[in-house]
Structure 1
Amino acid sequence: MALRGEIKNAQTLGRMLQQGRLLRGLSQRELADELGISQRYVWEMESGKPTIFTDRLFLVMRATGMHLHVEIDEEQADHG
């Protein structure tokens, strides 16, 4: 089974990133260590903190009629 969602802004992207991490059973610290990034950066992404990049990305997507959809494969998430 998969979780699906439309990503409309940094906040909805953050929620889906958090769901993917939680389905893998990882803490923010564990994911950060695995990826070689800071736990704060993971927290900022999951909280939907806007950045110049995300603001511009979603602005361009809206202007061009694009939609971004994410699918989290729960079975694959269980196996890392």
Structure 2
Amino acid sequence: MDSAKITPIGKISSPADLGQLVRELRQKQGATQVDLANFAQTGQRFIVELEAGKPTVRLDKVLQVLNILGVDLLAARRT
């Protein structure tokens, strides 16, 4: 991963924050929830629940969705 190419797009502090980010990115790309589910090989229900901020979604599927949306999940130490 080349850190020179990383562009922060927001701080995620809750499942709701993650869901909002996924929804915004999906809509910017002109995809429906069904489209995203198909591309990420998940069910539409998963996308609906992720965008709604459900706190118990599967991390492996979240990572699949973020990958399809062109987003890397990074961790940063608070200063």
- Larger RCO of the pair (alpha carbons < 8 Å, separation 6+): 1
TM-score by length of 2: 0.60
Cα RMSD (Å): 2.6
Q: Specify every segment of 5 or more residues in structure 2 that has no aligned partner in the other structure, as ranges.
A: 1-6, 60-75
Greater helix fraction, Structure 1 or Structure 2: 1
Corresponding residue number in structure 1 for 2:17: 12
TM-score by length of 1: 0.59
- Counterpart CA distance in 1 for 2:26 and 2:11 is 18
Q: Deviations over 1:13-45 (max 9, x none)?
A: 100011010010000001101111100000111
Corresponding residue number in structure 1 for 2:44: 39
For residue 4 of structure 1, report the CA deviation from its aligned partner: 2.7
Q: Deviations over 1:44-77 (max 9, x none)?
A: 11100111777xxxxxxxxxx946xxxxxxxxxx
Q: How many residues of Structure 1 are paired with residues of Structure 2 in the alignment? A: 56
Larger radius of gyration: 1
What percentage of aligned pairs have identical amino acids? 30
